[in-house]
A and B are shown apart, each in its own frame.
Chain A
Amino acid sequence: TLLGVICTDAPVSAGPLQAALTSAITKSFNSISIDGDTSTNDTVAILANGAAGGKPIDSTASPDFAAFQKTLTDFSIDLAKLVVRDGEGATKFVTIRVTNAASYKDAHRVASTIARSPLVKTALYGKDANWGRILCATGYAENVEGVVPEETSVSFIPSDGSAELKLLVRGEPEQVDEARAAKILEAEDLEIKVQLSEGKGGEEAVFWTCDFSHEYVTINGDYRT
């Protein structure tokens, strides 16, 4: 279960506060996955008491609201990432970036599908640059338009800032340097980039997930209800 409580002394009234939280959640807590199971209890609440003073934010139209919404979104993303860092049995922190989609929703659905694929997650645990499993998950994402195999590219973005490792370019497999791939996959942090088209769509979504290890099964095999 995910629970979260956020407090601020900014003077934000209830309506704009709900709007800011709802917006922030989409790109933060609703963009993480550890094991693909949605709990019965997930809740994130925010309280704003205005104790620091200043002009109240009473509407969603003001520049102050936009700034607050941005602050809250970035803050929520940082909190959500901590949850992924603590995924049961996880050894990797994985960012999935889906670009060039027709809509944010499409990009988010593809990223979410990759993030919950057990075979992608076990490949990551096994340090296997298995782009085939990533592509497979991309292809079965539901209600997504514009996934064209001949236009799809997949690459790994190393956490050390070095050049991306291209695995698939416009549907054609690259000659992968296995030694470099293994080195990239040794790191705790990794980014997978999936480009859905060649400039036909401009929307992007980011999702955060972790790998799937023996330890996850051990932990959850112990549970009794």
Chain B
Amino acid sequence: SQTRSYAAPGDGTIPAAKKKYIPSTGTYPLGFKAGSAHVGVKASNTRFDDLALIASDAPCAGAAVFTTNKFQAAPVTVSRDLLKSRKGEGIRSVIINSGCANAVTGKGGIEDAKLMGRETDQAFVKDSNGEDDGQSRSIVMSTGVIGQRLPIQKIVSKIPTAYYNLGETHEHWLGTAKAICTTDTFPKLLSKTFTLPGSQEEYHIAGMTKGAGMIHPNMA
């Protein structure tokens, strides 16, 4: 397995020079929540959250770009198919695990990614007694070591916890940004407000990203 030689972002050892990049406040989009949970995808991770959930209160529009690497990981295939089949509409959430990339894992990996999305969908259905059209509504992402199967039962058992932990405060967003980190030394989170020429409203945009190595994206 991949060993982490860097300190984990959540362990208080963020390099002093990087602390200036971590926001202490934020302005987050209405109707979105973020949350995380500890799974222990990597057996060596006994403390830090490694499952992240970002959710809209109501079904919404979604879009994505994906790696053009020919060995596309299972969550890439599953999420692309989801957006295609739903025409980018009716999306509810993004569920992400760190610690294992679910890449080059064959048909089993595809099933794992689908199950991860389905169980996330179920959390929303159960909570609201809402309608379940049987179609996926959750985009799935994974990051970490390549070539290993996800500990999928451990992950799905913690999806309700991530759902329960959803919230709209800065701490929720920052905690979720930490949960997607791998060898990153600091969580990457930004937010801002903006306006559009044809509206009076003030809009919000927030984003989190992760990545420190194996970085030369060519997404489409």
Task: Specify which of B141, B190, B216 is in contact with A3 (CB 8 Å cutoff).
Answer: B141
A52:B204 contact, CB within 8 angstroms: yes
A9:B204 contact, CB within 8 angstroms: yes
Stretch at the interface among A84-92, A125-133, A175-183: A84-92
Question: Which residue of A has the minimal Cβ distance to B142?
Answer: A41
Contact A35:B214 (CB < 8 A) given known A22-B220, A43-B64: yes
Question: Which residue of B has the minimal Cβ distance to A72?
Answer: B205
Question: Which residue of B has the minimal Cβ distance to A188?
Answer: B17
Task: Specify which of A216, A218, A224 is in contact with B2 (CB 8 Å cutoff).
Answer: A224
In the docked arrangement, what's the CA distance between A55 and B197, Å? 10
Question: Which residue of B has the minimal Cβ distance to A220?
Answer: B213
Chain A interface SS verdict (over half): mixed
Interface centre among A4, A22, A223 (most CB of B within 10 A): A4
Residue interface mask A1-32, B partner, CB < 8 A = 1: 11111111110111101101110010001101
Stretch at the interface among B71-79, B116-124, B125-133, B153-161: B71-79
Q: How many residues of B contact A (CB 8 A)?
A: 87
Task: Specify which of B143, B205, B213 is in contact with A7 (CB 8 Å cutoff).
Answer: B205
Q: Which residues of A contact B146 (CB under 8 A)?
A: 40, 225
Contact A13:B61 (CB < 8 A) given known A33-B215, A86-B185: yes
Question: Hey, which bits of chain A sit against chain B, CB under 8 A?
Answer: 1-10, 12-15, 17-18, 20-22, 25, 29-30, 32-55, 57, 62-64, 67-68, 71-72, 75-76, 78-80, 82-88, 116, 188, 216, 218-220, 222-225
Q: A2-B210, A9-B32, A14-B62 are in contact. List 13 more A-B contacts (CB 8 A).
A: A1-B182, A4-B209, A21-B63, A41-B67, A43-B66, A45-B139, A47-B61, A49-B58, A51-B58, A55-B198, A75-B192, A86-B184, A219-B5
9 tightest A-B CB contacts, nearest first: A14-B88, A51-B31, A54-B199, A49-B60, A34-B215, A42-B67, A18-B63, A6-B207, A9-B29
